[in-house]
Structure 1
Amino acid sequence: MSEKLNLLGYSVFDGILDNYPLSGKVLINTINPHSYCVAEKDEVFRSALKSSDILLPDGIGIVLAARFLKAKQIRKIAGADLHQFCLEKANAEGKKVFYLGASQNTLDKITERLKQDYPNLSVQSFSPPYKTIFSDDENKTMIEKVNAFEPDFLFIGMTAPKQEKWVFEHKDKLNASVISSIGAVFDFYAGTVKRPHPFWIKIGLEWLIRFVKEPKRLAQRNLVSMPKFIWVVLKTKITGQP
């Protein structure tokens, strides 16, 4: 079975995915320093993260915070790692996967790659409108598309916190077993955005390479959220309260 580490008010996954029984409906989300800071100001997002059955430590900052505050060694498990794990399981067992989010071009590229990488799984997808808030009819259509396929694995890629909040609101209506919000992984797997080399991932500097490549888009994450997160960790160490 898995273990959960109480870290800064969140139950962060501290275990091995292979040992977790993915039966029934399982909601998987990720947390990193930026999403932690966003959730501090967004009650719905905070509730969405806390409702996770598995909340993965997707960020070297979370891993280091666990070591600094709890003297606990946990492994970073990124959305891309979760995605690969689920695909391998789905392929081995002949399961069904569904991708909800991103552009049709990205979804087409994902489908083509899946045919080569994981030929034993079944896949469908749907590209919703690109907008901040969906109408009731749009939400209904998205849910119907998913439920008509009844996927074993449902991947949501609408960027955080929109994707987590959408799942939090509609999860009870979704006829899917494992539901995970993995955002940028759609683009990584489609090849429309290149993930940093495994060397940088292994030494914990994936965030830096991504920031160098996309400084404008990731400025808030790295120049605002990261210092705030470090301050929260230091304050927690001193006072015992985040």
Structure 2
Amino acid sequence: MIKLKDVIEKVYANDLSELSLFKTKQIINTINPHSYCEAKKDPFFSQALNESNVLLPDGTGIVLATKVLNGKVIKKIAGADVHQFLLEEAALKKLNVFYLGASENTLSLIKTRIKKEFPSITVNSYSPPYKPEFSKEDNVKMIAAVNKCKPDILFVGMTAPKQEKWVHTNSVFLDVKVITCIGAVFDFYAGTVKRSSPFWIKLGLEWLPRLLREPKRLWKRNFVSTPLFLWDLLKAKNYK
């Protein structure tokens, strides 16, 4: 089972520019208080996060826990941040990127924006069926679509924990150097969902505008997962 002290030890504490990319296969995942709480109930999700090559602190709660338990001051690195960083790297090196997930409309909007902002990038995509679990046939088609293009970077956006578990199961079959699960970033970048403004992000309250826009979908992570996470942090601090 995932443990907070282990998460804090593993979480990435450096600048994204210090990542070692493209030499060996790298799986980059993010963690926040909600995904931590979900992983406590889901052993396979916990394994997928623990066995990531890079685990980014995508939440002010993770940043707080790192300071409380390890005395380290780190920066929050959201999925949108690593997405932007990797696109800039891909543009400099004229790389091939692939988007796996979301609807055809969202993927089309992403391609249009990339061609405008990063014309040196080659971009391909595949929209998998919307269902709780993929069949073997679904997986074969998804893997084949990715490998046909031989991308340098694979962005996976199928919501957590589905995306992390899928990558953990299938990464060995994927001919890719960098795989990162970024969920809602597909919609942010496409413009179909608005990300919170820099004002709220700097305050550590990126979640607040999103909660107000989507209370039915996001209430649990803020009013259930956050208190549970803080309780685990208190216990971990007392047992330190």
TM-score, normalised to structure 1's length?
0.95
Say yes or no: does 1:74 pair with 2:74. Answer: yes
Whole-angstrom distance in 1 between the partners of 2:96 and 2:24: 15
Tell me what 1:187 maps to. 187
Tell me what 2:11 maps to. 12
Tell me what 2:25 maps to. 25
Aligned counterparts, 1:161-200, within 5 A: 161-200=161-200
Aligned counterparts, 1:74-223, within 5 A: 74-223=74-223
Query: Which deviates further from its counterpart, 145-154 or 9-18?
Result: 9-18
Whole-angstrom distance in 2 between the partners of 1:238 and 1:18: 35
Whole-angstrom distance in 2 between the partners of 1:7 and 1:40: 10
Letter of the 1:157 counterpart: G
The superposition leaves residues 26-78 of structure 1 with CA deviations (integer Å, 9 ceiling, x where unpaired) of 10000000000000010000000011110000001100111112111011000
The runs of 5 or more residues in structure 1 that have no matched partner are 1-5
Contact in 2 for aligned 1:48/1:164 (Cα 8 Å): yes
* Paired-residue identity, %: 57
Whole-angstrom distance in 2 between the partners of 1:91 and 1:57: 25
The runs of 5 or more residues in structure 2 that have no matched partner are none
Contact in 1 for aligned 2:60/2:204 (Cα 8 Å): yes
Aligned length: 235
Secondary structure of residue in 2 paired with 1:13: coil
Whole-angstrom distance in 2 between the partners of 1:174 and 1:8: 31
Letter of the 2:48 counterpart: A
Q: CA deviation at 1:80?
A: 0.1
The superposition leaves residues 71-105 of structure 1 with CA deviations (integer Å, 9 ceiling, x where unpaired) of 11011000000000000000111000000000111
Q: CA deviation at 1:8?
A: 2.3
TM-score, normalised to structure 2's length?
0.96
The superposition leaves residues 207-233 of structure 1 with CA deviations (integer Å, 9 ceiling, x where unpaired) of 112111111110111011001000000
Secondary structure of residue in 2 paired with 1:119: coil
Whole-angstrom distance in 1 between the partners of 2:54 and 2:33: 17
